[in-house]
Amino acid sequence: MIHIRLLDNTVRSFETPLTAADVAGQISPRLLKEALAAKVDGVLVDLSYLLTKDATLEIVTKTHADALEIIRHDTAHLLAEAAKEIYGDNIQITIGPAIENGFYYDFALDTPFTPDDLEALEKKMRAIVDRNEDFVREEWDRDEAVAYFKKMGENYKAEIINDLPKDEKISLYRQGKFLDLCRGPHAPSTGKVGKAFKLLKVAGAYWRGDSKNAMLQRIYGTAWATEQQLKDYLFQLEEAEKRDHRKLGREMDLFHMQEEAVGSVFWHPKGWRLYRTLQNYIRHKLEQNDYQEINTPLLLDRKLWEASGHWEKFKDNMFALTSSDDRMLALKPMSCPCHVQVFKQGLKSYRDLPLRLAEFGCCHRNEPSGGLHGIMRVRNFVQDDGHVFCTVDQILDESKKFCTLLKEVYTAMGFPDFNVRFSDRPAVRAGDDAAWDKAESMMKNALEEMEISYAMNPGEGAFYGPKLEFILRDAVGREWQCGTLQLDFVLPERLDASYMGEDGCKHRPVMLHRAILGTFERFIGILIEHYAGKFPLWMAPTQAVIAPIVTQYNPYAEKIAALMEQAGLRAELDLRNEKINYKIREHSLAKVPYILIVGDREQADNTVTLRKLGDTNQETLALPQAIDKLRTEACQPC
């Protein structure tokens, strides 16, 4: 007799032996019919998993939090089976995991996949669903499995098995005539997977991510529990494509990137205006919150990075060089050790704390070329970096102040709602449990006092302390992790930072690492896509264009431009000898918020006609009234 605790916290007793499927069937025939997999003591398993001792059991149906992982993994196997049926011995299958929002599978095939090929593969996958083939787990002898896959011409699979730890069981899954190496788990059959999937695109991928290895073809797909979820996601993709910051960046003349500076941004005048507007806003908020802005070197001796611990953990992502005097230097990937150096200049007292330092820190990271993406992921970027040096007793107040600041900034940027993930102590960490207990408790108290809900992210904290991650949701429903707050007891110790306490003795400060936007480049990319280029007026690089109907009204347009400049508005003149409809169309495509049209009536009456982006109606106002309207709307958030 074993005792099984179910999801509703009830405990039932069962005679052994029995499987997770047996338990589902005894609870409800409908539950068994809807079941995809099970979760035993927190671990996902097949429904055929044999229960032999007391355990906690969850039955995974399509509404379960883990259902999509099962569905997407299963769908990857459908794709691999379809590929083998269509291409036979001409194709080798490699790996195919579930990923965020979908799955992929890597194939070795001499000819490139075409859109027609994806359509044929998808059709075959649907046929496999209709065949409702059972997923059956098998355990094989290692040598036997290697020999089998080599005989089948699947050399990549044989290599994977050879490289597995010697004590690891070799688990294969069979579906119909298809056999694949896999740890599982899987749904009971292909029919359970459903048809809410879509193959999306093909990309190149090096075997095992190493550019020295063969280039494979990676097919990406998405899979969902229901057709409606799939439809919603495809709509989101379509919207995201329209909002692609790389496309809009060109159309709006904000920036460009080129091969001679891979991973770096060439900001054009309008883009740099946007950049400086955001930077000035952040600087204003930092001054309001008693931060002191500093600036630290880009290039530092390897010895500092070794002392801080970054060299050991981060050196592969750092750009290093040797100076003329044979010193090893590295471009900074983050500013943390530099801020400690500033803190250490001069004797600090407890009366000096909290000390809040901020920097628009120019950083470099040697990101792999395949991971670069427009201005969202680059090698040269600027962080809105900040560090608060404080006492243990000040952690709670400083955490609350930061959360308040962050909420104000996100609201001003157009993200009034955000999610928070709380990452607690990892298995390998510095500091004792008492310090971790106190740090975690204080961060949680800060969130709860501010009524900010959060989800736990167990074991994902930094090795030196717990971490909060702030996640935004954009206009098309995508999530972006931007802000962070991290507690650090380690770096002040490693770099010998101290202050004189009230007791006259030296103490280590606590270091709060914090960022709001994260990096300016990435955040601007997020803003472009969130607003589809239609920025709020205070943020827009060009707030208005003054467009005369014909050239004889150019002097009046120039007068308006001068008045707008005096009012602090960012306005441009379009004095070209072009038709007004052409000008309106061109500036609308460039996402200029307002076009000010002037002609004979406007000049005679000292008025201007305002055309707002996205609005078919026009409004004619007295010139002072129009300028006051724009100035009020363009006012920077507090």
Give the residue carrying structure tokens 């909420």.
407
Q: Which of the residues 74, 117, 385, 474 is marked catalytic?
A: 385
Q: Which of 387, 400, 530, 591 is catalytic?
A: 387
**Measured distance CA(370)–CA(402) in Å, rounded:** 35
Query: In sequence order, what DSSP letters do the residues of 158-178 get, joined into one string?
Result: HHHHHHS-TTS-EEEEEETTE
Give CA–CA dist 556/550, Å, rounded. Answer: 11
Concerning whether 336 is annotated as a catalytic residue, the answer is: yes
Alpha-carbon distance 273 to 56, whole Å?
57
Q: Which residues pair with 299 in a beta bridge?
A: 331
86 contact partners, CB below 8 Å, separation of at least 6:
120, 121, 124
Beta strands across the sheet bearing 299-301: 299-301, 328-331, 320-322
Over its C-alpha atoms, the chain yields an Rg (Å, rounded) of: 30
As a whole number of angstroms, the distance between CA 180 and CA 174 comes to 7
387 is catalytic: yes
Buried b (16+ CB within 10 A) or exposed e, 333-372: bbbbbbbbebbeeeebebeebbbbbbbbbbbbbbbeeeeb
Cβ atoms of residues 222 and 230 within 8 Å: yes
Q: Which residues pair with 423 in a beta bridge?
A: 457, 467
Residue of 72, 77, 84, 365 marked active site:
365
- Residue from 64, 198, 467, 514 carrying the catalytic annotation: 467
Tokens 């035993």 belong to which residue?
40
CA torsion angle 461 465 466 469 (round to 10) = -70
Based on the residue annotation, tell me whether 513 is a catalytic residue of this protein: yes
Catalytic residue among 22, 73, 117, 336: 336
What is the separation of C-alpha 359 from the centre of its chain, rounded to a whole number of angstroms? 23
385 is known as an active-site residue: yes
Q: Are 175 and 190 in contact (CB under 8 A)?
A: yes
How far is residue 543's CA from residue 593's CA, in Å, rounded to a whole number? 6
Of 72, 270, 513, 583, which residue is the catalytic one? 513
* Active site residues per annotation: 336, 365, 383, 385, 387, 467, 513
